Amino acid sequence: MWTLRALRVASILTPITPAPIGYLICRIAAVVFYVVNGWNRRQVIDNLQHVDPRLSWLGYRIAALKVFETVFANYYDLLRFRTVDRERFAELMEVRGRENLDPALQCGKGVIILTAHLGNYSVVGQYPATIGIRAAIIAERVQPPGLFNYMTRLRSAPGIDVFPPGREAIPPILRLLRGNGVLLVAGDRDISGQGVTVDFFGEPATLPAGPALLAMRTGAALIPAYTVRTSTRHSIGIIEPPLQLVRSHDREMDLHQNVQLVAHALERMIRTDPTQWAVLQRVWGTPPTRLQQRGEGLGSVPTGFPDHREPAGTGHDPRAQSESDLTTR
């Protein structure tokens, strides 16, 4: 409940507070939260130890504090970008790799942007809307319901569609991709309990199957993209080439191999700056039901897509299915 109250107060103060002061307040709040919240501090340190085992005892704690600073800065930016017009938005983020997005859109099957909770990841979802492309994200279910509703309004403010979590998201997702839109999904946290265990930074971890599964079944391009902050007020967005998914007659093996491709893409993203990986929950060895969600994250693709795909080489278009078929197993 404190998160909702804090966001409501911050939404009132953000338009009248100079950005440098706003970011300073975020850093102070991050330090306080880091000191008093030992549970999340330990989760973050555990993640950092998997990503970079070379740091010292002190190094992990300094890096963990920077993660907390990233989280609070992201909350602030989510509020601040509501008051920034699209022309000025382009000044706040430099996009590299646009040449990887345009050819994928020309195929006409839509694009799935795979991202991690890295840097100012909310910017990735806003970028397509700024260049006239219909885009959507999937909301992450959080408690209490008031916080969920408030975060949904914040994320939809820049003109992005926000789809509900769970199976009810399947019909709008399919409509979006059929209309050649862009869907932003996070792939670095399995909060559904239906993920696939793959090698992640050299150790087994369960990652969501939804992004790879959706791309396999719709033909949409699966493109890794992420942001890194270069300063408090500027980010660089990186759009990578589409993943070359495995498609054979062994669908279960294909899914495992494609989720492994997703894992490798996430590793590349996170290694750019692990201190900007804004995940406050342990990724390795924690059952998804133990994950505490505060609304700072993005949701992922539901896995309830029934398999109507024909064997490889038949030319069947899985997008030709009716939505009523796709919403039942």
User: pLDDT tens for residues 33-66?
Assistant: 999 999 999 999 999 999 999 999 999 999 999 9
| CA distance linking residue 125 with residue 135, whole number of Å | 7
Mean pLDDT, rounded, for 130-154: 82
Q: Is the pLDDT of residue 109 over 70?
A: yes
Q: Is the pLDDT of residue 325 over 70?
A: no
11 Cβ contact partners less than 8 Å away, ≥ 6 residues apart: 79, 82
Residues 24-37: tens digit of each pLDDT: 999 999 999 999 99
If residue 236 lies in a helix (H) or strand (E), which one and from where to where? strand 234-239
305 band by pLDDT with thresholds 50, 70 and 90: low
| CA distance linking residue 267 with residue 260, whole number of Å | 11
State residue 82's pLDDT score: 66
| CA distance linking residue 298 with residue 139, whole number of Å | 6
Q: Is 142 left (phi over 0), alpha (psi -120 to 50) or beta?
A: beta
Both tokens assigned to 322: 């009716």
Q: Is the pLDDT of residue 324 over 50?
A: no
Q: What are phi and psi of 61, to 5 degrees?
A: -75, -35
Q: Is the pLDDT of residue 321 over 80?
A: no
Higher pLDDT, 264 or 120: 264
Q: Is the pLDDT of residue 315 over 70?
A: no
320 band by pLDDT with thresholds 50, 70 and 90: very low
318 band by pLDDT with thresholds 50, 70 and 90: very low
Tell me the DSSP string of 126-165: HHHHHTT--EEEEPPP-SSHHHHHHHHHHHHTTS-EEEPS
Q: In terms of DSSP bridges, do strands 196-200 and 203-207 run parallel, antiparallel, or are they unpaired?
A: antiparallel
Mean pLDDT, rounded, for 5-23: 89
Tell me the DSSP string of 273-298: -GGGB---S--SS--GGG----S-S-
Other Cβ atoms closer than 10 A to 208: 27
Residues 169-184: tens digit of each pLDDT: 899 999 999 999 999 9
Contact 251, 298 (CB under 8 A): no
| CA distance linking residue 300 with residue 328, whole number of Å | 19
Q: Is the pLDDT of residue 122 over 80?
A: no
Identify the three-state secondary structure at position 206. strand
Judging by beta carbons within 10 Å of its beta carbon (0-12, 13-18, 19+), is residue 21 exposed, middle or buried?
exposed
Other Cβ atoms closer than 10 A to 63: 21
Other Cβ atoms closer than 10 A to 137: 26
State residue 144's pLDDT score: 80
Q: What pTM does this model have?
A: 0.86
> What's the CA angle centered on 319, arms 329 and 257, to 5 degrees?
70
If residue 8 lies in a helix (H) or strand (E), which one and from where to where? helix 2-13
Mean pLDDT, rounded, for 294-303: 58
